[in-house]
Amino acid sequence: MMKMKAGVRPLEEGIRTDFREEMDYASYLGLDQVLSAQHPVSEPEHHDELLFIIQHQTTELWLKLVLHELRAARAHLDTDDLLRALKAVARVKHIQRTITEQWSVLATLTPSEYAEFRGVLGSSSGFQSYQYRAVEFILGNKNEKMLPVFRQNPEAYELLDGLLHEPTLYDAFLRLLARRGYAVPDEILERDVTEPWVERPDLIPVLTGIYQDPASAWDIYEACEDLVDLEDAFQLWRFRHLRTVQRTIGFKTGTGGSSGVDFLKRALDLTFFPELISVRTEVGA
């Protein structure tokens, strides 16, 4: 019997080691492509540019999954499968927590370090993230004027144009409420879905009834709170983004031409489900 070296754990007999004709971990995940997709452009290469690239690439991967889950949630609402919709929303909330905490990694990039390679970014900017815009579109913050930014990318343009003309997650939820017998005004159910959502005071009485008697339809009540969780998590992500940018570049203009921190501050005023906040003033009043 072969003597094992001290401290070396032997492989179990069933573990495969020959992958000449089998798919392995790296090939399934496409790691050759993923791990070779980081291309720093600073010369000589700045040590911290890899951090900057990976931070944004991983965020884009999570945004891809967020959009995947939100579309699934909307489809489940359309078929009155509320529980499966909430399961998808729950997953999105966990993803949001992850990408929000991720800002703490980028915050280790000091102003001096970033200044050494910021110039090589040219006009590229997170403002141009079409997946971020897609998530905002499906949640209700639609802006047709954003489409020209992506005209040179047919795939991105088609995605955003499609979401622009499709109902939002909130639209799907309100239509489910109407099918369940709630008096959602017809003007809301038949609204132009290409327009950004704006607060509708005539929806408040419907939501007030839900909140004043949660036991009568606990799943609907829970869905309302899950949407609020979603909104809060998104706002927290925006705020951490703002603080990280401010910490790193102060009040400089953004690389994409925006006003930087001031632009991000204005984004904090955007809301997806304003009635679900306003109804809290009515409950118990």
Binding residues for substrate: 52-56, 114, 118, 255
Tokens 């703490």 — which residue? 104
List the structure tokens of 134. 């897609």
Cα 112 to Cα 118, 126, 210, 247, 258, distances in angstroms: 10, 20, 53, 11, 21
List the structure tokens of 104. 């703490």
Residue 49: CB atoms within 10 Å:
22
Q: Which is it for the CA torsion 132, 136, 138, 142, positive or negative?
A: negative
Tokens 């940018």 — which residue? 245
Where is the binding site for heme, in residues?
241
- Residues near 80 by beta carbon (within 8 Å), at least 6 away in sequence: 176, 179
Q: What is the spatial distance between Cα 125 and Cα 158, in angstroms, rounded to a whole number?
A: 20
Where is the binding site, in residues?
52-56, 114, 118, 241, 255
Q: What is the spatial distance between Cα 108 and Cα 121, in angstroms, rounded to a whole number?
A: 19
Query: Cis peptide leading into 44, omega within 30 of 0?
Result: yes
Q: Is 11 helix (H, G, I), strand (E, B) or coil?
A: coil
Q: What is the spatial distance between Cα 206 and Cα 278, in angstroms, rounded to a whole number?
A: 12
List the structure tokens of 155. 């795939």
CA 273 to chain centre: 16
